[in-house]
Amino acid sequence: MKPSRLLLAALALAAPACESSKPSSKPAPETSAASPKEAPAADGAKPAAGAKPAAGAAPAAVQVDASFAGMWDLPIKTLDGKPTTLGAFKGKAVLVVNVASQCGLTPQYTQLEALQKQYADKGFTVVGFPCNQFGGQEPGSAEEIAEFCSTQYGVTFPMMEKIEVNGAGRHPVYQALTPIADASGHTGDIRWNFEKFLISADGTKVTRFSPKTKPDDPTVIAALEAALPK
């Protein structure tokens, strides 16, 4: 028996719907599980995967040997030209920072000053070392730097004279500090403005932080509190 015209018409209408329900023979576009590559840090430092401690956990401090003790007596000058040494702060936890007035990281002054106010009475101080080696971002005179820090950020922590932290003219204080590794294993040259070295109050341990690690980062706070006088 030949199929009726109505039946043939119904089959013709159903055919496209059946075809569309078949699985496609074309493979689905691949979706990469990998995250986009991280852009290089402005300071040239390579981020180390998994190197950053959990929030609120201090990175391991580096135990320094007896030769490091000589750093406290190295001659330096304050920003207004008076001779001194880091020994003036011995017995405190000291955060040594190379600073600049025209850097994208300059707003870290706000957080550094906040640390100074919060922890100074507990035996802590920031010590700033202006440096013009990174993009020429600290070109001013001592007077100009002092005025900028005071008027723009209300800085009260000690500021030293402008120095070099890398190269043949590296200041002896930084000759003592730069061999110390940070949590990613970086040693040697300072990478950019606002690299940080936290020296424990007993002078036996140093914790290094990259320029982009903000002073109020939980890892810095944890290390600071561990470094205070006992």
Active-site option among 18, 103, 131, 149: 103
Q: Cα 51 to chain center, whole Å?
A: 12
Closest CA to 176 of 42, 34, 53, 72: 72
Q: Cα 174 to chain center, whole Å?
A: 18
Active site residue 103: yes
| Terminal Cα-to-Cα distance of the chain (whole angstroms) | 103
Q: Cα 207 to chain center, whole Å?
A: 12
- Dihedral Cα 166, 182, 122, 176, nearest 10 deg: -40
User: If you write DSSP's letter for every residue of 179-219 in order, what string do you get?
Assistant: TS-BTT---SS--STT-EEEE-TTSSEEEEE-TTS-TTSHH
* Active site positions, annotated: 103
